[in-house]
Amino acid sequence: MTPFVVIVLAGLGSYLFRISMVLLAERMRLPERLERASSFVAPAAFAALAATSIAAASMGADVAAAVPPLGASAVAVAAVRLFRRAWAAPLVGMPVLWLLTAVVGS
């Protein structure tokens, strides 16, 4: 196995592990109070990731570096509004972030 294949498989495994927790949490029944609070976990986590990426890009004064997190954030918000599910934010937003990062080259 080449190092590239190992890195891709490790990244895919990590992504699937993270998404599985979000999907499993949605299928479990929690007390009503926790249920309301847990619906904000995935969007808040993705927003925190996006905000730190945007802040880091802004500190370097490289406008192109801010494009991937801003674009991914916009797509994640649209996905959550469209599907009305919290898991849509990382499920759609992270691949868009990776794609935009690869295209922009930041």
Q: What residue segments make up the domains of the chain, in order of their start?
A: 3-104
Q: How confident is the model at residue 25 (pLDDT cuts 50, 70, 90)?
A: low
Does the pLDDT of residue 72 top 80, yes or no? yes
Residue 69 — very low, low, confident or very high, per pLDDT cuts 50/70/90?
Answer: confident
* Own/partner pairs, 44-50, CB within 8 angstroms, 24+ separation: 45/89, 45/90, 46/73, 46/76, 46/89, 46/90, 46/93, 46/94, 47/73, 47/89, 50/76, 50/93, 50/97
Residue 74 has pLDDT above 80, yes or no: yes
